[in-house]
Structure 1
Amino acid sequence: MMDRRRFLGLAAAAATVGIAGCGPEGAGTVRLASGEIGGFYHAFGRKLAAAAERSGEVRIEPVTTAGSQANLTLLARGEVDAALALADSVGRSGEQVLALGRVYENYLQLAVRADSPIRTVADLRGARVNLGAEGSGAALTGSRILRAAGLDPMRDVDVAHRPLRESVAAVINGDADALLWAGGVPTTLLDVPDRMRLIDLGDFATPMRELFGPVYDRVEVPAAAYPGAAAVHTIGVTNLLLAAPTVSDAAAAAIVELLVWQADSLVPIEAAGTQFLDGRSLISTGPVPLHPGAAAVYRNWHG
């Protein structure tokens, strides 16, 4: 295992040359595209920024966004230095990105009103469905789920794209029939089970893998996640913490140090028990190569 004091000394020395960050605050600032207020990405971004402030090794500036696809666009344009994104969104536009780590798994949550007659994805035919905000990962994954269920998103479903808070209000008020959200469990804005109910998506994990690749897992939303609700199965999608190639090795290393050494403090309290950071899986970033600065830390940490 890497000696922490020795690493921090090396990182501090590198800082005299220039830690990284193309952000407007100057050297040492990494602008991180996170997600919507009320969502897991947004909460994680704030926690990571707080951990960075405590460490003093790098400054992280979270940027509120619509989600994965918007984050990748911002990263490709050079408007942010790092981004959170669902694994199935990465690489679709040919963007050149590097990974700092595999952080969490997002849970797809298809929610309807508690008294809704909708029980399955097939029941969404002719329904008004919010598939995540424009630019979110749910917007992409949601259309894939509909296709896996034999529904044409353009013809069989009345699809809209609204932010989470608006989507929840629309479903509860009867202005929409369902919403799809990709996030942590629980998501406090989803009023389950009092006014909303989750639809089981577990049967779609295998067809999703067959149709669109191996980034989809069958996972469980335990009953304890939303007290009073029944457990349901759904689809999990890996979250990646990404960085632009222009981020320096020292800045990338400082962020990975936070992931490795402060993992317990980086899980939003409401999601503790279903989400966690595991040092053994941080390096499992699939086809997205690790940033050299991140790889150096993992080599030292894993021995």
Structure 2
Amino acid sequence: MVGGVAAAAVGCGADRGIATVRLASGEVGGLYHAFARLLAEVAARAGTVRIEPVATSGSQANLAMLANGEVDAALALADSVPGAAGTYLALGRVYENYLQLAVRTDSSIRRVADLRGARVNLGATGSGAALTGERILRAAGLDPAVDVTIEHRPLREAVAALDSGAVDALLWAGGVPTAALEVPLKMRLIDLGELARPLREHFGQVYDRVEIPTDAYPDTAAVHTIGIANLLLATAALPDAAAAAIVDLLVTRVDALVPAEAAGTQFLDTRSLIGTGTVPLHSGAADIYRSKHG
């Protein structure tokens, strides 16, 4: 069961008895944080639940905060969620995160295998990219401990490091376009499509081959990459009424919950929401999906 901090948060607000739910999101400037802020705004207008976004470094940090009772709900990449049954429950599969491996425009790096000997930023410590990035390297035949020098800087620090030459590449898991990635002016994206199959073979079926469409970044051609489901999670300690209120917003306020960074992603259709894979739905979430769609 979650501990006292979150248990206290999921209580009655000062007015109208509205539950307050602390939601672990992600870095400011990223899709997680943008989505959490939109959800909070929609919830405030609806008056059925209060959402407090919490900025974090990403998926792994979010899961730790959820397990420790520091938050009531969390966003996380599906491959970051431990396999232990019953640890987490899903409110929905809210969108598809796109991996974006960026290098400088003048770089000789064309494939992940070309990163041998390079300095690579694999997301901030605690991010989903930190875990997925090492899997990407292994799928390309590289040993993360030997063949590359790995760093873990937050996005904006990583962008500055890439620009200055302090790192040779950065990996970001997020929406398209991500404003902080200066594509195509200073950066270009590496095609990751060839790694979808080895990732699935070695690490599970959560990895999809997806396309960043033409002109998603100004005047750029389409490029294939890896998509990973992003789950909105809670534990059984989240009351059914709070879970149901959040899911009702996901189902009924779709147009207001799409950040600018969500172009090209699979976002908030019913099939996506209930497609939470091996993570079972929270009972309050399941009740809403049944009432809306049978």
Q: Any gaps of 5 or more consecutive residues in structure 2?
A: 1-5, 13-18
Cα distance change of structure 1 residues 298 and 89 upon mapping to structure 2, 3 Å threshold: same
Selected match of 1:60 from 30, 51, 66: 51
Which string of whole-angstrom CA distances, capped at 9 and with x for unpartnered residues, describes residues 84-110 of structure 1?
000000015777110000000000000
Shift of 1:273: 4.6
Which residue identity is paired with 1:158? T
Once residues 8 and 70 of structure 2 are traced to their aligned partners in structure 1, the CA distance between those partners, rounded to angstroms, is: 8
User: Corresponding residue for 1:106?
Assistant: 97
Which residue identity is paired with 2:7? C
User: Corresponding residue for 2:3?
Assistant: none
Which string of whole-angstrom CA distances, capped at 9 and with x for unpartnered residues, describes residues 204-258 of structure 1?
0011000000000000001221011221000000000001211100000000000
**Contact persistence 1:131–1:161 (CA under 8 A):** yes
1:159 aligns with 2:159: no
Once residues 184 and 86 of structure 2 are traced to their aligned partners in structure 1, the CA distance between those partners, rounded to angstroms, is: 40
Shift of 1:22: 2.4
Shift of 1:25: 7.5
**Contact persistence 2:96–2:265 (CA under 8 A):** no
Q: Any gaps of 5 or more consecutive residues in structure 1?
A: 1-20
User: Corresponding residue for 2:206?
Assistant: 215
Once residues 168 and 34 of structure 2 are traced to their aligned partners in structure 1, the CA distance between those partners, rounded to angstroms, is: 27
Which string of whole-angstrom CA distances, capped at 9 and with x for unpartnered residues, describes residues 163-189 of structure 1?
000001100111110000000011010
Once residues 26 and 284 of structure 1 are traced to their aligned partners in structure 2, the CA distance between those partners, rounded to angstroms, is: 29
Figure out how many residues of one structure are paired with residues of the other and give that number.
Answer: 283
Cα distance change of structure 1 residues 93 and 134 upon mapping to structure 2, 3 Å threshold: farther
User: Corresponding residue for 2:127?
Assistant: 136
User: Corresponding residue for 2:232?
Assistant: 241
Q: Percent same amino acid at aligned positions?
A: 71
RMSD of aligned alpha carbons: 1.4
User: Corresponding residue for 2:7?
Assistant: 22
1:91 aligns with 2:82: yes
**Contact persistence 1:267–1:275 (CA under 8 A):** no
Which string of whole-angstrom CA distances, capped at 9 and with x for unpartnered residues, describes residues 9-47 of structure 1?
xxxxxxxxxxxx625474200000000011000000000
User: Corresponding residue for 2:291?
Assistant: 300
**Contact persistence 2:213–2:264 (CA under 8 A):** no
Which residue identity is paired with 1:88? D
In the TM superposition, structure 1's runs of 4+ consecutive aligned residues that sit over 4 Å from their partners are 92-95
Shift of 1:261: 0.2
User: Corresponding residue for 1:123?
Assistant: 114
User: Corresponding residue for 2:35?
Assistant: 44
1:264 aligns with 2:255: yes
**Contact persistence 1:267–1:276 (CA under 8 A):** yes
Which residue identity is paired with 2:173? A
Once residues 258 and 41 of structure 1 are traced to their aligned partners in structure 2, the CA distance between those partners, rounded to angstroms, is: 17
1:224 aligns with 2:215: yes
Given the two structures, how large is their TM-score scaled by the length of structure 1? 0.91
**Contact persistence 1:31–1:61 (CA under 8 A):** yes
Shift of 1:275: 4.5
Once residues 300 and 98 of structure 1 are traced to their aligned partners in structure 2, the CA distance between those partners, rounded to angstroms, is: 19
Once residues 84 and 103 of structure 2 are traced to their aligned partners in structure 1, the CA distance between those partners, rounded to angstroms, is: 32
Selected match of 2:278 from 263, 283, 287: 287
Cα distance change of structure 1 residues 23 and 264 upon mapping to structure 2, 3 Å threshold: farther
Which residue identity is paired with 1:297? I
Cα distance change of structure 1 residues 93 and 139 upon mapping to structure 2, 3 Å threshold: farther
Once residues 219 and 272 of structure 1 are traced to their aligned partners in structure 2, the CA distance between those partners, rounded to angstroms, is: 13
Once residues 147 and 106 of structure 2 are traced to their aligned partners in structure 1, the CA distance between those partners, rounded to angstroms, is: 22
**Contact persistence 2:9–2:21 (CA under 8 A):** no
**Contact persistence 2:24–2:73 (CA under 8 A):** yes
**Contact persistence 2:60–2:128 (CA under 8 A):** yes
Cα distance change of structure 1 residues 296 and 93 upon mapping to structure 2, 3 Å threshold: closer
3-state DSSP of counterpart to 2:98:
strand
